[in-house]
Amino acid sequence: MADDLPQIYLVTPSDFELSAFLPRLEACLDALPVACLRLALSGSDEGRIGRAADGLREAAHARDVPIVIESHGLIAKSHGLDGVHLTDGARQVKAWRKEFGEDGIVGTFCEASRHEGMNAGELGADYVAFGPAGASALGRGEPVDPELFAWWSQMIEVPVIAEGALDEGLIRALAPMVDFLALGEEIWREDDAAAALTRLAAARG
């Protein structure tokens, strides 16, 4: 039944030193199959973000893992990334879908809004992320009602991601309802991120 399990979608920390982070990332990418990597580096230093994009792209593409970048679609295009992850629901989906064409990845975070998610799907989003799945500072901080994931998986064909404050219990509960589980801070805060990733992934079933 492994084919029915949600895939792992890996999210980088919002701040990291590339030389120190790369070995940790590579250990995670080698630990188990990862469906997609998101570069979520914050700030406005284009050079720093570009260098991170290049380093992570090499690590991801060497393992046949697509990589998207949070918000910075132009950097994605100029540095050979596979697409963009938006953070404002459906607002920019149409424009970036036009920029990337049908082959690029355009995904978006829709907090807990079914309406926003449906609009994003209609405008061409490849996936919609809802969160936080658990108690967190992500979005408005209120956990998404699991019924949203259940309804989406039954009614909507656009793949859905659960993200934010995931733990083993939540992963176990949400696994039958989602296509991807976004794991980021849940693993990077641990000394051995690859071991934490393996442990959380095992909770899928």
Tell me the average confidence (pLDDT) per consecutive run of 10 residues in the chain, 205 residues long: 81 98 98 98 96 98 98 97 98 98 97 97 98 79 92 97 97 98 98 98 97
What is the reported pLDDT for 142? 85
Q: Which ranges constitute the DSSP H helices of the chain?
A: 18-31, 46-61, 73-78, 93-100, 114-122, 146-155, 168-174, 185-188, 193-202
What is the reported pLDDT for 139? 60
What is the reported pLDDT for 14? 97
What is the reported pLDDT for 135? 86
Residues in the chain: 205
Q: Which residues contact 103 (CB under 8 A, 6 or more apart)?
A: none
Tell me the whole-structure pTM to 2 decimals: 0.96
Structural domain containing residue 181: 2-202
In the chain, how many domains are there? 1
Q: Residue 130's domain is classified under what CATH number?
A: 3.20.20.70
What is the reported pLDDT for 62? 98
Whether the CB-CB separation of 41 and 14 falls below 8 Å is answered with yes
Half-sphere exposure of 77 (CA within 13 A, CB side): 12
